[in-house]
């Protein structure tokens, strides 16, 4: 008995010191350690170039992270980070000025990688209007060479085909998601095996043929068969009419598409979503605005269930997690957790990134965490567009669009350690 006691005592002494948090009795937390990896890292791109700010989404080719330029100043800069180097080093970053391609005063929103090329969705202009000049970069060629880049103007297909936000890819086709202030209903589809600059390589489809007010979408997501469009604003109001396209059927037939009005069939507040992401068998939509105010009405769809059936959808108001937890643009996943990119709440830009554990019930507050990106640095607020995972980090895109009524464009790129 005495020998057993000393063995147990010895083993106990090998355990690292633990301390109780006096504010959360019963929870055990490790004491501070040295050389611990930082969960949140940031780097201000404007310290390299004053025009390196105002981005709308990230995308990766497996080595580099690319930032989509939404801001247009004396230069419009695509930013690229080399993931083999330190995040906060100037030597890790490079830029390409799209003005050299004749694209002065044009902004983009969202991008997609098809295995070789990166496609940038054409969005806004310096004149407060929209454009249709799709931008493509060949990742096998030098980033800083004009010859590595090509453009195609979608207005060749239809004069209204301008103002896209977000993309999609099903393995064979690139999709550009129509917004244009709710005016443009033409989703564009490009066959990646064909000539990028040939109009015959492209198709467009009028989503308002499904429903007269089913227009004004932001971003999409592909689940292996279906492409889902995230409902935002149709030019008159924020809406919840989400569309699903069966990629095994003809693109330009209305019968290839299904619709569900989340407002009518799921919850009256389920409108104004700014992005979507797939994780496991679920599609998650990103809440931004409803009734002209930022919200956090999360919805997700179970892809194993009928699309147009209300019981296939779940709804959760994430604003219960913290007073400023509303208003998100873009999302991403690391395979288990779903992350929502913080934009603005009713009062200001914010840095309250939401993190949902997909192994736990969607409608339970305990399944969610609030990651305060701006903890200790109030400049780390307002991010926009898709969150990209590369290796053990997720990357958020700095924005700061002044049209929101708060602040100015910024270049504070952020990454978050997920492993």
**Partners of 97 in the beta sheet?**
77
Q: What pTM value is reported for the model?
A: 0.91
Walking along the chain (419 residues) 10 residues at a time, the average pLDDT comes out as: 40 37 30 58 97 97 98 93 98 97 95 98 92 98 98 97 98 98 96 98 98 96 98 96 98 98 97 97 96 94 97 98 96 98 92 98 98 93 97 96 76 95
**Pairs from 94-99 (Cβ < 8 Å, separation ≥ 24):** 94/143, 94/144, 95/48, 95/49, 95/52, 96/137, 96/143, 96/144, 96/149, 98/69, 98/135, 98/149, 99/75
pLDDT tens per residue, range 185-196: 999 999 999 999
To which residue do tokens 């580099």 refer? 64
Residue-range domain boundaries for the chain? 46-417
How many Cβ atoms are within 10 Å of 243's Cβ, its own excluded?
Answer: 23
pLDDT tens per residue, range 107-130: 999 999 999 999 999 999 988 899
Quote the CATH superfamily of domain 46-417.
Kelch-type beta propeller (2.120.10.80)
Taking a C-beta distance cutoff of 8 angstroms, is the pair 125, 108 a contact?
A: no
pLDDT tens per residue, range 240-261: 999 999 999 999 999 999 999 9
Helix and strand numbers, DSSP H then E, in the chain: 2, 32
């Amino acid at each position: 008995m005495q020998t057993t006691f000393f063995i147990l005592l010895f083993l106990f002494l090998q355990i690292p010191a633990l301390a109780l948090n006096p504010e959360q009795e019963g929870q055990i937390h490790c004491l501070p350690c040295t050389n611990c990896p930082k969960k949140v890292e940031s780097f201000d791109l404007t310290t390299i170039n004053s025009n390196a700010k105002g981005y709308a989404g990230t995308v990766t080719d497996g080595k580099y992270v690319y930032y989509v330029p939404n801001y247009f100043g004396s230069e419009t800069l695509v930013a690229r980070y080399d993931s083999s180097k330190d995040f906060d080093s100037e030597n890790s970053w490079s830029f390409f000025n799209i003005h050299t391609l004749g694209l002065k005063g044009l902004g983009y929103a969202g991008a997609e990688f098809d295995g070789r090329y990166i496609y940038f969705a054409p969005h806004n202009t310096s004149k407060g209007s929209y454009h249709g000049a799709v931008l493509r970069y060949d990742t096998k060629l030098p980033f800083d060479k004009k010859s590595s880049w090509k453009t195609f103007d979608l207005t060749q297909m239809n004069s209204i085909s301008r103002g896209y936000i977000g993309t999609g890819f099903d393995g064979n086709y690139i999709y550009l998601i129509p917004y244009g202030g709710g005016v443009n209903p033409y989703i564009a589809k490009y066959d990646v095996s064909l000539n990028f600059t040939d109009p015959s390589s492209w198709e467009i489809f009028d989503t308002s043929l499904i429903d007269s007010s089913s227009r004004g979408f932001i971003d999409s997501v592909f689940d292996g068969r279906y492409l889902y469009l995230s409902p935002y604003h149709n030019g008159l109001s924020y809406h919840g009419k989400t569309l699903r396209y069966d990629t095994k059927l003809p693109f330009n037939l209305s019968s290839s598409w299904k619709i569900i009005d989340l407002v009518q069939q799921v919850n009256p507040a389920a409108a104004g979503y700014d992005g979507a992401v797939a994780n496991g068998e679920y599609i998650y939509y990103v809440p931004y605005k409803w009734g002209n105010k930022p919200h956090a009405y999360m919805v997700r769809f179970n892809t194993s269930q009928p699309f147009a059936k209300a019981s296939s959808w779940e709804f959760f108001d994430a604003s219960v997690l913290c007073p400023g937890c509303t208003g998100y643009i873009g999302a991403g996943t690391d395979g288990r957790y779903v992350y929502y990119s913080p934009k603005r709440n009713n009062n200001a830009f914010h840095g309250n990134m939401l993190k949902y554990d997909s192994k736990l019930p969607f409608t339970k507050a305990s399944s969610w965490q609030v990651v305060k990106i701006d903890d200790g640095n109030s400049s780390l607020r307002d991010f926009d567009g898709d969150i990209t995972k590369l290796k053990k980090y997720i990357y958020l895109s700095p924005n700061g669009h002044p049209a929101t009524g708060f602040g100015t464009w910024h270049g504070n790129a952020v990454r978050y350690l997920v492993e």
